[in-house]
Amino acid sequence: MTKLSVNINKLATLRNSRGGNVPNLVQFAMDIESFGAQGITIHPRPDERHIKYQDARDLKKVVTTEFNIEGNPVPKFVDLVLEVRPTQVTLVPDAEDAITSNAGWDTVKHKDFLVNIIKTFKENGIRTSIFVDPKVDMIKGAAKTGTDRIELYTESFAENFTKGKKNEGIQDFVDAAQMAHQLGLGINAGHDLSLDNIKFFKDNIPHLLEVSIGHALICESIYLGLENVVNMYLHRLK
């Protein structure tokens, strides 16, 4: 079975919009694990606009499944990961002002940088993954960095799926996954995966170890749980 790691960034965004500690990220992470998820993912950014660096420290104390920290390996991020020592670090080349991740690494152009960063993390017992576009040459480049895994950037798949073109471009992901497996790399995936498209993606991508899902999962949870909560209020108001 492909593992599900739940990205809780959006819960942090909701908390920060009001101040205080509601929703409580630590409790949510514990609950998500108790519901069966096999991992918790966070993506702290330098401005801490959603996940705060202290959240990583607090979550480390309670997460009993896989703890995955994503981010651009700027010095502050590297220091945090080395302090917390999660199960996995996923390297993402996002700009500081990016709303969300929007591109994979050029693993050829940035090979030397990635080699050094990955060596540091692996020496500290942290599994590494590189966020990449579904391009065979980028997969081959990733294999030369020493990374343990790659994470396929799935926005293009999700966009095509929404347009009713679910088979358009899917072969790129299949080829990338097959190449990664051939080169001894583990395969993760994430970005805009949802209840609508996840089964098709899983059924078509070979050797898929893990998916990281946040925005869609949280939105779906709000909607699919809305009737239950409204009726709980009505019951108490009778």
Which residues form the catalytic set? 43, 70, 191
Decide if 47 contacts 74 (C-beta within 8 A). Answer: no
Distance CA 33, CA 63 (A): 8
Cβ atoms < 10 Å from Cβ of 233: 8
4 near 211, Cβ under 8 Å?
yes
192 contacts 215 by C-beta, under 8 angstroms? yes
